[in-house]
Chain A
């Protein structure tokens, strides 16, 4: 597709369940980012992939959060044993190869996650 694609667009689940969010980046974009945005707040960095490896996982808030990327393309963000404070919009972004700051990130529409 032309842009970053995320699915599902909305997810409502019960506290304690596991959820998996998917991101399909723009073709040719080797760098991929996950962010979290709570209502009315700025972007909170979660994890950055370069190809299939994650050189920066510093933003993952707890060990309930994990992410993987296979084939240098699609990435999944998994949240285990969800808590109500996990409710937020999860945004994925990708960019062309190169060092940080050389190319802008392009965002998907996000997954709105609601934990009941």
Chain B
């Protein structure tokens, strides 16, 4: 059965810390891996990764995919309280398979 597992389930850090969120998968016919940020309402798209080893970067956020070891990481540097959210990982084959998310809390 296809599955996506995110870790940790929750994480509390202080402002300014760097965090690494993990997403591992076992999915047949992999096409892409996506990261989303969900605050109070809709998940907002962060990154889509299709190739191994190519880092995608947006400001303080970056992500990379390892298709051999079947995982991706999402890094956030110099965290701010506005980074507090649930971070969702999803993998596509012919459908989208979602992880349960990592709840990140940034304390001032």
Partners in one complex: yes
Contact mask for chain B residues 25-53; partner A; CB cutoff 8 A; 1 contact, 0 none: 00000011010100001111100101000
Given A42-B101, A104-B48, residue A91 in contact with residue B88 (CB < 8 A): no
Contact in complex: A100, B94 (CB < 8 Å): yes
Task: Please give the number of chain B residues whose Cβ is less than 8 angstroms from any Cβ of chain A in the complex.
Answer: 22
Q: Is A99 an interface residue (CB 8 A)?
A: yes
Q: Which of B32, B44, B88, B93 is close to A42, meaning CB atoms less than 8 Å apart?
A: B88
Tier of interface size on chain A: 20 to 34
Determine the distance from Cα of A33 to Cα of B88 in the docked complex, in whole angstroms. Answer: 17
Contact in complex: B45, A106 (CB < 8 Å): yes
A-chain residues with CB within 8 Å of residue B88 when the two chains form the complex: 42-43
- B10, chain A: closest CB distance, angstroms: 10
Q: Is A70 an interface residue (CB 8 A)?
A: no
Contact in complex: A101, B92 (CB < 8 Å): yes
Q: Is A25 an interface residue (CB 8 A)?
A: no
B interface SS class: strand
Contact mask for chain A residues 58-96; partner B; CB cutoff 8 A; 1 contact, 0 none: 000000000000000000000000000000000100000
Contact in complex: B98, A102 (CB < 8 Å): no
Contact in complex: B98, A42 (CB < 8 Å): yes
Contact mask for chain A residues 22-48; partner B; CB cutoff 8 A; 1 contact, 0 none: 000000000001000000011101001
Given A33-B96, A42-B100, A43-B98, residue A105 in contact with residue B45 (CB < 8 A): yes
| Sampled A-B contacts (18; CB under 8 Å) | A41-B100, A42-B99, A42-B100, A42-B101, A43-B98, A45-B98, A48-B95, A91-B43, A99-B31, A100-B31, A100-B95, A101-B92, A102-B31, A102-B32, A104-B45, A105-B34, A105-B45, A107-B43
Pairs of residues from A and B, 9 with the lowest C-beta to C-beta distance, nearest first: A101-B31, A101-B92, A107-B42, A101-B32, A42-B100, A109-B41, A43-B98, A104-B45, A100-B92
Extra contacts, 4 of them, besides A42-B98, A101-B31 (Cβ < 8 A), are A41-B100, A99-B31, A104-B45, A110-B41
Taking beta carbons and an 8 Å cutoff, which residues of A are in contact with B? 4, 33, 41-43, 45, 48, 56, 91, 99-102, 104-110
